[in-house]
A and B are shown apart, each in its own frame.
Chain A
Amino acid sequence: MSAKVEIDFTLNGVREQRAVAADMSALAMLRDVVGLTGTKYGCGEGECGACTIRVDGVTLNACLMFAVDCDGREVTTIEGLAATPPGEKLRASFVEHGAVQCGFCTPGLVMQASHLIEKNPGAGEEEIRRGIEGNLCRCTGYRKIIEAIAGAK
């Protein structure tokens, strides 16, 4: 068994204190310890982006991050983003543009899109495509996702 570590961090704007196994990923912590299932397991090796979260303002793959490394940091998941105006704007755009089919990749894409738009509000087609190159989608062919992100700027 791995040692348990007490961590203290901000999750979706709320201060949280949790005990997590030292070798646990941030993804497992969010899903199994905290119970927020919006962040998805797609591959567990940082290749698909389904587990994209924001930590201290930048997006990263929760499956590659140690849960203990959340200590002292600000973490935002899709649940947190969805409750904010930028999240609502993205949601509306994804819905309106038909960018959601099975929806499994959608939380990761919405998270990545929010970071992309915030960092580069004038992002054009090429920059959007490159910006989501770390997110895999098997249903939509990406076209409408790109349009949804462009429409949410």
Chain B
Amino acid sequence: MSGIERYAAPRTLEEAAELLSAGGATVFAGGTDVMPQANAGRLRFQKTLLNIGRIAELRGIGESNGVVRIGALTTITELLESPLVRGRFRALWQSCDHFASDQIRNAATLGGNLCNASPAGDTLVPLLVLDAQVVLAGKPNGTLATRRLPLAGFLTGPGRTLRAAHELLTAVEIALPPAGFDSEYFKFGTRPALDIAAISIGLGAVREGRVLRDVRVAFGAVAPTPVRAPRVEAALEGRIADDAAIDAALEAAADEIHPISDIRASDWYRREMVRNMLQRMLCDVREG
């Protein structure tokens, strides 16, 4: 018996923010995280069940002034089908390609994946590599206010973000990376589909000849949140991905990750996989 007293499906952001500012609302979009968590008893419904899936302002992928805005309600399938995402944000596209199943991709939203803030969240790792920002909107004092936060700071712990209870995540903004930038995502799970990553790695850089610049490295499932790895980045910045650089990167990685042991994998194995897969990705960069 869930105790939900009211259901609302607002059609505008304004309406949704109004409802949220009254407090006591459980928000859902695709339902692919909220429903199973509620069934498992890990989530208790509040008095208002708020369906934000009908808010048109939260849809769409568009570019303006060198910044790509992806609406929070964009489904994983829509991301997969976007030529812009596939062309310019390859790591993000790859993470969507490995995301659960077609049925879940058709319903799951980017905003939901971000707010769920899983340490293994598929889209979070490439978004960190892409220096994404999240856009939050709410009505703290009666008028609609918007703020932007870098994704890195937004994620504060497993299932925890800086989103205030009265706020909605409305969009993700990604500045178009410089020319010559490419990114790659690797996910290691023990089964192609429907798995929760045992580890995942995102890599991005600009290639100037064989030299790597503007290096970004992020890891998933090896810390309470997906994280950037500044020491690994520093080990590679401005260098060619030769053996020495790769070794330095791997050594830095060992210090920057803090995996746990659970039923999916031991911490030792996660460390080994980060090392082996990062090495493989960097060797591919060297060759390609």
Contact = CB atoms under 8 A, between A and B. Distances in A.
| List of 6 A-B pairs having minimum Cβ-Cβ separation, nearest first | A134-B101, A133-B193, A58-B106, A22-B4, A60-B107, A23-B2
Nearest to A57: B106
Nearest to A68: B7
B101 A5 contact: no
Contacts, number: 105
Given A3-B7, A133-B193, A115 B35 contact: no
B32 A46 contact: yes
B7 A133 contact: no
A63 B35 contact: yes
A16 interface: no
Nearest to A51: B103
Given A2-B3, A23-B4, A45-B39, A60 B51 contact: no
Given A45-B36, A64-B104, A58 B7 contact: no
A53 B73 CA distance: 20
Contact of A49 (B6, B9, B28, B101): B101
Interface in B1-40: 1-7, 9, 28, 30-32, 35-36, 38-40
A135 B101 CA distance: 8
Given A58-B77, A69-B51, A133 B104 contact: no
B273 interface: no
B283 interface: no
A15 B288 CA distance: 56
B194 interface: yes
Contact of A22 (B2, B101, B193): B2
Contacts of A52: 103
Contacts of B100: 46, 134
B272 interface: no
What is the interface residue range for chain B against chain A?
20 to 34
A5 B50 CA distance: 13
A23 B204 CA distance: 42
B51 A131 contact: no
Interface of A: 1-3, 5, 21-23, 25, 44-47, 49, 52, 58-61, 63-66, 68-69, 71-72, 112, 115-116, 130-131, 133-135
A131 B31 contact: no
B35 to A, nearest CB: 5
B194 A134 contact: yes
B53 interface: yes
Nearest to B97: A130
A25 B49 CA distance: 13
Contacts of B40: 45
Contacts of B194: 47, 133-134
A52 to B, nearest CB: 6
B99 to A, nearest CB: 11
Contacts of B4: 2-3, 21-23
A61 B102 contact: no
A101 B182 CA distance: 47
A65 B39 CA distance: 12
Given A68-B9, A69-B53, A23 B192 contact: no
A61 B39 CA distance: 15
A134 B193 contact: yes
Interface string B102-117: 1110110000000000
A134 B39 CA distance: 20
Given A44-B36, A133-B192, A133-B193, A60 B103 contact: yes
Contacts of B7: 3, 5, 22, 68
A105 to B, nearest CB: 13
Nearest to A20: B7
B222 to A, nearest CB: 24
A3 B6 contact: yes
A25 B102 contact: no
B154 interface: no
A59 B103 contact: yes
Given A131-B102, A133-B193, A44 B39 contact: yes
